[in-house]
Amino acid sequence: MTFENLLVTTENQIAQITINRPSKLNALNKATILELHQAFTSLEQNPDVRAIIITGSGEKAFVAGADISEFANFSVEEGAQLAAQGQELLFDFVEKLKTPVIAAINGFALGGGLELAMACHFRTASDNAKMGLPEVTLGVIPGYGGTQRLPQLVGKGRAMEMIMTASMIDAETAKEYGLVNHVYKQEFLVEETLSIAQKIVKNSPVALSKAIKSINAGFKHDVDGYDVEIRNFGKCFGTEDFKEGTTAFLEKRKADFKGN
């Protein structure tokens, strides 16, 4: 698949999506959101892809926000539709993806950019990264899940302060808050994130997908996460990956998981 706004590569069972709009600091417009949906859909359906890294082109920005020119004149209904469609097509979609997704934040991750990073399963950042949700400076609020995911990751008080002040935090602060797991020098960000992904792809794809689903369930108010875990734990016992994993352990060899 070829894209106008993305670069997608796959090597050693790890895919890398690079948002490639450097002149716009990789800002998310409708076309890019649609392309990201298509790329993630295609990669999830590819059995040879067992982890996905998403980053931005250049050294300045992961994603500097949404393309404001696209919605500056929207009505109330159009604004609500914009948020609903974006969440369904990309942000909720990425969060629920069966394949592990890591955001490698290489610079500014603002507004929709930080919301995209937060929708990923976890995040790494370059030492020059800056993160924030500045929407209130435009007279609007985060609409792609930011008011929900940020408190889950950093706590209610810190999320309230970040959103209300529209302030940016640096990479080390983001790590202290639990917003990112690791901070690396800019030039080593993708390489170090790849090393984490390489550890992930050695494990059972079936078990990874069920772990993602079970962890996500714990953050849904209308779902019993423990019950979801119990059911997914049980389902693992009916998979070839479980047979291979336990047999390999007992035979003192490395498991060769097929993902079924």
pLDDT along the chain (260 residues), means of 10: 93 98 93 97 96 96 90 93 96 98 98 98 98 96 97 98 98 98 97 98 97 96 94 96 96 93
Instruction: Using the structure block, give the residue that is written with the tokens 């469609």.
Output: 85
Q: Which of 77, 135, 191, 244 is catalytic?
A: 135
Tokens read off for 6 = 């993305």
> Within 10 Å of residue 96's Cβ, how many Cβ atoms?
11
The pLDDT score that the predictor gives to residue 133 is 98
- 203 burial via Cβ count (<10 Å: 0-12, 13-18, 19+): middle
CA distance 142 to 148: 9
The fold of the 205-250 domain, in CATH, is: Lyase 2-enoyl-coa Hydratase; Chain  A, domain 2 (1.10.12)
Longest dimension (CA), the chain: 65
pLDDT of res. 153: 98
Q: Which pLDDT score is estimated for 68?
A: 85
The pair of three-digit structure tokens given for residue 189, joined into one six-digit string:
């960000």
Tell me: the pLDDT tens digits for 92-103? Answer: 999 999 999 999
Q: What are phi and psi of 55, to 5 degrees?
A: -145, 180
- The residue extents of the domains of the chain are 6-200, 205-250
The answer to whether residue 244 is catalytic is: no
Rounded-to-integer distance, Cα 129 and Cα 22, Å? 16
CA distance 51 to 156: 30
Tokens of 125: 């950042």
Token reading at 128: 């020059």
Fold classification of 6-200 is: 2-enoyl-CoA Hydratase; Chain A, domain 1 (3.90.226)
Which amino acid belongs to residue 114?
Answer: L
Active site residue 240: no
**Which of 35, 44, 95, 115 does the annotation list as catalytic?**
115
pLDDT for position 106: 97
Quick one: which H or E segment has residue 185?
Answer: none
Percentage above 70 pLDDT, the chain? 100
